Amino acid sequence: MSTTAPSARASARALSPIFPRRPSRSRLVRGVARHILLILVLFLVLYPLLWMVSASLRPPNQTFSTLGLWPSGFTLDNYRVGWNYGTLQFSKYFMNSLVIAVLCILGNILSCSLAAYAFARLEFPFKRVLFGFVLMTLLLPYQATLVPQYVLFNHLAWINTILPLVVPKYLATDAFFVFLMVQFIRTLPRELDDAAKLDGCGHIAIFARIVVPLTIPAIGTTALFTFIRTWDDFLGPLLYLNDPNKWTVTVGLNGFLDTTGVSAFGPLFAMATVSIAPIVGFFLVSQRLLIEGVATTGIK
Q: Contacts with other proteins in 72-111 (CB under 8 A)?
A: 110-111
Q: Which of 93, 184, 247, 265 binds other proteins (CB under 8 A)?
A: 265
Q: Which of residues 165-224 bind other proteins (CB under 8 A)?
A: 168, 170-173, 178, 202-204, 207
Q: Are 197 and 206 in contact (CB under 8 A)?
A: yes
* Closest distance to other proteins from the beta carbon of 257 (Å): 6
User: CB under 8 Å to 273, separation ≥6 — which residues?
Assistant: 52, 53, 56
* Closest distance to other proteins from the beta carbon of 229 (Å): 9
Q: Which stretch binds other proteins (CB under 8 A): 36-44, 72-80, 82-90, 95-103?
A: 36-44
CA end-to-end distance (rounded Å), the chain:
25
Nearest-angstrom CA–CA distance, 245 and 89: 8
| Residue among 23 and 124 whose Cβ is closer to other proteins | 124
Q: Which of 91, 76, 109, 140 has its CA nearest to residue 249?
A: 91
On the 0-12 / 13-18 / 19+ scale of CB atoms within 10 A, 282 is middle
Q: Which of residues 115-154 bind other proteins (CB under 8 A)?
A: 115, 117-119, 122-125, 127, 130, 133, 137, 139-152, 154
* Closest distance to other proteins from the beta carbon of 245 (Å): 19
Please state, in angstroms and as integers, the Cα–Cα distance from residue 205 to each residue in 209, 214, 224, following that order. Answer: 6, 13, 26
Angle between helix 216-232 and helix 90-121 axes, rounded to 10 deg: 140
| Residue among 84 and 154 whose Cβ is closer to other proteins | 154
| Residue among 195 and 294 whose Cβ is closer to other proteins | 294
* Closest distance to other proteins from the beta carbon of 84 (Å): 18
Q: Are 194 and 235 in contact (CB under 8 A)?
A: no
Q: Which stretch binds other proteins (CB under 8 A): 87-95, 188-196, 214-222, 279-287?
A: 279-287
* Closest distance to other proteins from the beta carbon of 189 (Å): 19
Nearest-angstrom CA–CA distance, 99 and 240: 15
* Closest distance to other proteins from the beta carbon of 292 (Å): 9
19 lies in the binding site for other proteins (CB under 8 A) = yes
| Residue among 69 and 99 whose Cβ is closer to other proteins | 69
